Amino acid sequence: MAKFERIVILTGAGISAESGIDTFRDAGGLWERHRVEDVATPEGFARNPDLVLGFYDARRAALESVEPNAAHRALARLEAEFTGDLLLVTQNVDNLHERGGSKDVLHMHGELSSALCTSCEMRSPLDVPLLDRPKCPVCQAPTLRPDVVWFGEMPYRMERIYEALGTCDLFVSIGTSGAVYPAAGFVQEALMNGARTLELNLEPSEGSRFFTESRHGRAGEIVPQWVEEVLEG
Ligand code: OAD
């Protein structure tokens, strides 16, 4: 790999698959067992809050029995050793990047371990079931919802992401199907701004043609390999 100075990395559910977290669109994935409209939209939450709170409580509880894998750890090593600028953006709501050692992770779709108060709009760390209707630590109202971005809502920190996409010299997409915008459009944005683009995924994603280079395989193998190459220069 040529030498790069400003790298933006986007990760998706595929990077956590080998840790035992279900992806969304693969066979047996989350969206085969749950209707998106029911559990991942503001309308679904308004219709049946208990169903939605229970769905995210179960996903948060499941994090306790999984561990980060070699791909998460490799990206943490890259953060620690890369001398240029690095922005790690994840669509994942799990905490495996952090537990793998990454210090600075931009969760554009929110986090399971955070709650958002629908009364005062403040965020707070979450480690109890939302179905128990805990009080917001800021305003004391029992009106917490998962701090995750649902379909129809605006992903977090888009300004920061587009700023980095405008100046990066390498954009890397890892373990994402490229089915959900705006994240699916990041590759074109980076390409348009002159960056090289690299896809590391089990199979070609929907936007595969926009990548200068594609490597297909399991994240736990191909991500550490790529990190090694970047750090060797
Ligand atoms: P998807 O389930 O759509 O895609 C996962 C991708 O990971 C697929 O392309 C798989 O081929 C690939 N994959 C599976 N196992 C892998 C492995 N071991 N190594 C490498 N790649 C692997 O998940 P996302 O693209 O993350 O949003 O989904 C994007 C968004 O759609 C999610 O953030 C979520 C979902 O609906 C919201 O809920 C708002």
- 198 inside domain: yes
Asked if residue 170 has its Cβ within 6 Å of ligand 1, the reply is no
| Residue of minimum CA distance from atom 15 in ligand 1 | 14
The answer to the question of residue 136 being in a domain is: no
Q: How confident is the model at residue 80 (pLDDT cuts 50, 70, 90)?
A: very high
Give the structural domain span for 193.
Answer: 6-21+68-109+150-232
CATH number of the domain that 189 lies in? 3.40.50.1220
Domain count within the chain: 1
The mean pLDDT of 189-199, rounded to a whole number, is 98
- Residue to substitute in 24, 37, 225 for testing ligand 1 pocket (most ligand atoms within 8 angstroms of CB): 24
Q: Is residue 38 part of a domain?
A: no
Examine residue 104 and state whether it is found in any structural domain, yes or no: yes
pLDDT of residue 31: 93
Contacts of 111 (CB under 8 A, 6+ apart): 93, 95, 147, 148
Residue 140 lies in a domain: no
**Measured in angstroms, how far is the CA atom of residue 225 from the centroid of ligand 1?**
20
Supply the pTM of this predicted model. Answer: 0.97
109 is known as an active-site residue: yes
User: Residue 2: which pLDDT band, with cuts at 50, 70 and 90?
Assistant: low
Residue 171 included in any domain: yes
Domain assignment of residue 200, yes or no: yes
Domain membership of residue 144 (yes or no) is no
